[in-house]
Structure 1
Amino acid sequence: METERQEMTRWPIVPLGDFVAKKSSSVNPAMFPGEVFDLYSIPAFDAGQPDVCAGSEIGSAKQVVQPNDVLLSRIVPHIRRAWVVGESQDRRLIASGEWIVFRSPQIRPGYLRYFLIGDSFHTQFMQTVSGVGGSLLRAKATEVAKIKIPVPPLAEQERIVKLLDEGDELRRLRAQADRRTADLIPSLFHEMFGENAKKPHVRVKLEQIAKVVSGVAKGRKFNGRLPVEVPYLRVANVQAGHLDLSEIKTIQALPEEVEELALRKGDVLLTEGGDFDKLGRGAMLEEELPNCIHQNHVFRVRVEQSKLDPVYFAKFLLTGEARGYFLGCAKRTTNLASINMTQLRALPVLLPPLPQQKEFAARVSDIRAMQAEQAASCRRLDDLFHSMLHRAFQGEL
């Protein structure tokens, strides 16, 4: 180990500016409306491949890039994004101006990319960020250029990249398995209750098997009465299929309101509306939250558990049948939609026999246990990978 560290001290420590593309040209694709480009945009990063666009579809000038250029996003919140430009498919390669472009024969693209996504670089990178407002924060390219990187011989860079690629591949396979597992519950629902189910099931209006209530509004006046401050769940807490309880804010409400609206384990919460994808999204509360209530843009559904299992109902809300009902009766404006309590109470709920619902809920519990194990495995792999990243640039791999 000591020998490796001594070797590390002999590696040149070089500012990133030495590898920034010095002769980067630009092009206005709109001047070539019929030409097709490979566009490395910031949004395209998540898809893992550039957008293929005609010049007529691109609204501003772009940087011209080359295969094996390394791109670093300088805009917040799209950070920790480093991308190696792929081979040309007989189309010009262009990139958003929000990328810092690196190009040098002295450094392997994979080695540089791994450095740019590591914790040490990220900490220094964030110190170069400035701007007004969270959506306008950008790193200063001139300051990023001052951050230093250890540069071993090319053969050593290649060895490091090979080891990190192996670790990254394990993470990729784990993520692939997680995506397959995420499909298990919808597939199970379809198998047990879909069109191919052995017996047709009745449909019952939600109001016949559950109590639906709205919540409290913010900023109300209490006309001399003394409210109490309690935790409450907002639209932001209610995601499709799960509740995000990482941030629970507080609200003022009267004591009798808290008593009436206090949430219980097994309650199902639905959003009133918003963007089309938020309409009617819902999830079940899986833990007790003492004295916690909900806001007026969220509906609470408390089912009669002798007729309707809450786990089953929460998953029913994710089906195309429930989504279709909400979209069909929603009040719409441009890009927004909402439902009211009357419409929710009239929701036709597919109602199989309770033992079948309970069987479904038990199998969902098994799947969730497997997902929890996979999530723990994913965290361990991430920790291992980031440890490898750190050691790689300390000369310890």
Structure 2
Amino acid sequence: MTPSTFRTIPVWLLASKIGSGKTPSGGAKTYLESGVTFLRSQNVHFDGLRLDDVAFIDRGTHAEMRGTKVRPDDVLLNITGASLGRVARFPANVGAANVNQHVCIIRPAGGTDPRFLAYALASQPVQQQISSMQVGGNREGLNFEQVGHLRVPEATYAEQRRIADFLDAETARIDRISAARTSQMTRLDELVSAEFTETIVPGSLAHQAGQWPWSWLPDKSEGLKFVRLGYVARLQNGLTVDSKRDVSGDVVTRPYLRVANVQAGHLVLDSVTEITVPRAVARRSTLQPGDVLMTEGGDLDKLGRATVWQGELEACLHQNHIFAIRPDKRKLDGQYLAYATQTLHGRCYFESTGTKTTNLASTNSSKIQSFPIPLPSVDRQRQLVRVLQQKLDRHAEFRGRLDRQLALLAERRQALITAAVTGQLDVTTVGRAAAV
């Protein structure tokens, strides 16, 4: 196959099955800690399946969903959402598995190399088709007919195997480099966490006292005075969203923050909702610059992590699932408090006092106000904030470089796949050159 003879055929000619599964009755509540692997769109990536957050279903449910059981060498294509178009081949070592409605199973017919089909679907021409075909609705995506009409490069079975063998070796090399960069990012995050801890609560990582009730604190904490947060800050509750509330009198319409807007260490303000409430209610739930925001619940490893409100939106309100902690500025710096929640001490406190359900957890106002915060002078707090901010700036620069490298590696991977499957790259020539 060469560029001059490059032709395409529809996917349905290469497949014996095109279809997807469904969410089990009962939804996510039926997911188990172990059992039959249940694949969702977040598990399907161009470099293969990622199973670190995979769900599981029981064997009875798997048996009921017999029409969407996944077989080795099935090609899995995400057909909805932000991950639309991501594709991976299902390996034999995963064992029994099923999929939900957002993952399409494409079962290669005889005479089709499943590796080649997966690579072809990941190539730039096919990804462009997917982008142009997607339909509207709550979640943009493809239907099965559209998947079947995607046009992929035509090649003989021998050509498919040669191309797939070449790409297996080359993409594995790229994936190893990407994995190394991802590992570096993980180590960088660990370094950031360690610097938070050792700057604010020195000795926590190497000299834990092991004494009740805060066994993770250092055995020697000269100069550190721990104070209950409620003594140096006031906690403000947010408003309860109530569609039945009377909004006919003296009311105001204001932006308000939801849990989705408050992340660990930062805010996401690209989608902020407005709400109409009585002026008196708004007065009680209006944020002020310097408030420290903390969500009531979320992922266990993020519980209690705080971020500072800098007045990004004028007269903004907050939902009742977000706590606003208003420090006494004579005694506590807001940014210092936010950083303190990210120390080992902060992580251990909120994870040990939180109410846990599976991998989710929640806290409450009394537990937040009982947080024992190390409290040097305000001047010292601000000095430590400046030190940490300088380190964070350097880490952000390093992370940016790693992000750019990962993006370039992903571009290189797709370009190589595209060139190989469309005949722009003669893999037999490349193979001979490499051997020489």
1:348 Cα deviation (Å)? 1.8
Identity of aligned residues (%): 24
Correspondence for 1:187 among 190, 194, 202 = 194
1:165 Cα deviation (Å)? 4.7
Q: Say if 2:35 and 2:56, in contact at 8 Å, map to a contact too.
A: yes
- The answer for unaligned runs of 5 or more in structure 1 is 25-35
Shift in CA distance, 306/115, structure 1 to aligned 2, threshold 3 Å: farther
Correspondence for 1:115 among 114, 120, 123 = 120
Counterpart in 2 of 1:101? 106
Which amino acid letter does the alignment assign opposite residue 14 of structure 2?
A: F
Counterpart in 1 of 2:12? 17
- The answer for unaligned runs of 5 or more in structure 2 is 20-33, 44-48, 208-217, 426-436
Counterpart in 1 of 2:250? 225
1:178 Cα deviation (Å)? 1.8
1:141 Cα deviation (Å)? 3.3
Which amino acid letter does the alignment assign opposite residue 71 of structure 2?
A: V
Matches within 5 A, 1:57-206: 58-60=62-64, 61=66, 63=69, 65-66=71-72, 68-74=73-79, 79-87=84-92, 95-96=98-99, 99-103=104-108, 106-118=111-123, 120-122=125-127, 124-125=129-130, 134=139, 139-152=142-155, 153-154=159-160, 155-156=162-163, 158-159=165-166, 162-192=169-199, 193=201, 194=204, 196=207, 199-200=221-222, 201-206=224-229
Correspondence for 1:41 among 26, 39, 42 = 39
Counterpart in 2 of 1:370? 398
Secondary structure at the residue paired with 2:266? coil
1:166 Cα deviation (Å)? 4.5
Secondary structure at the residue paired with 2:69? strand
1:198-231 per-residue CA deviation (whole Å, 9 max, x = no partner) reads 635321111333333223444554553252x333
1:234-268 per-residue CA deviation (whole Å, 9 max, x = no partner) reads 1111122332223222233677857983442x532
Counterpart in 2 of 1:360? 388
Secondary structure at the residue paired with 1:102? strand
CA distance in 2, matches of 1:396, 1:111: 15
CA distance in 2, matches of 1:361, 1:233: 25
Secondary structure at the residue paired with 1:261? coil
1:129-188 per-residue CA deviation (whole Å, 9 max, x = no partner) reads 789865xx8744344122110134333554455555544444333322222212222222
Shift in CA distance, 86/320, structure 1 to aligned 2, threshold 3 Å: same
Q: Say if 2:163 and 2:420, in contact at 8 Å, map to a contact too.
A: no
TM-score normalized by the length of structure 1: 0.72
CA distance in 2, matches of 1:125, 1:315: 43
Counterpart in 1 of 2:25? none
Shift in CA distance, 38/56, structure 1 to aligned 2, threshold 3 Å: closer
Counterpart in 1 of 2:324? 300
Counterpart in 1 of 2:286? 261
TM-score normalized by the length of structure 2: 0.66
Counterpart in 2 of 1:31? none
Secondary structure at the residue paired with 1:47? coil
Which amino acid letter does the alignment assign opposite residue 286 of structure 2?
A: L
Q: Say if 2:292 and 2:324, in contact at 8 Å, map to a contact too.
A: yes
Counterpart in 1 of 2:365? 341
Q: Say if 2:10 and 2:149, in contact at 8 Å, map to a contact too.
A: yes
Which amino acid letter does the alignment assign opposite residue 180 of structure 2?
A: L
Shift in CA distance, 115/56, structure 1 to aligned 2, threshold 3 Å: same
Which amino acid letter does the alignment assign opposite residue 15 of structure 1?
A: P
CA distance in 1, matches of 2:345, 2:178: 35
1:10 Cα deviation (Å)? 0.6
1:350 Cα deviation (Å)? 2.9
Shift in CA distance, 384/138, structure 1 to aligned 2, threshold 3 Å: closer
Q: Say if 1:84 and 1:110, in contact at 8 Å, map to a contact too.
A: yes
Shift in CA distance, 333/102, structure 1 to aligned 2, threshold 3 Å: closer
Q: Say if 1:130 and 1:138, in contact at 8 Å, map to a contact too.
A: yes
CA distance in 2, matches of 1:330, 1:39: 29
Q: Figure out how many residues of one structure are paired with residues of the other and give that number.
A: 374
Q: Say if 1:15 and 1:146, in contact at 8 Å, map to a contact too.
A: yes
Counterpart in 1 of 2:46? none
CA distance in 2, matches of 1:122, 1:165: 21
Stretch deviating more after TM superposition (350-359 or 148-157) = 350-359
1:277 Cα deviation (Å)? 6.5
Stretch deviating more after TM superposition (213-222 or 321-330) = 321-330
CA distance in 1, matches of 2:196, 2:330: 20
Which amino acid letter does the alignment assign opposite residue 188 of structure 2?
A: T
Shift in CA distance, 55/222, structure 1 to aligned 2, threshold 3 Å: closer
Counterpart in 1 of 2:266? 242
Which amino acid letter does the alignment assign opposite residue 6 of structure 2?
A: W
- 2:218 corresponds to 1:212: no
CA distance in 2, matches of 1:358, 1:185: 14
1:269 Cα deviation (Å)? 0.7
CA distance in 2, matches of 1:327, 1:250: 32
Shift in CA distance, 119/286, structure 1 to aligned 2, threshold 3 Å: farther
1:26-83 per-residue CA deviation (whole Å, 9 max, x = no partner) reads xxxxxxxxxx9985733763227999999579553363623x4433345657643422
> What value does the CA root-mean-square deviation take over the aligned residues?
4.6
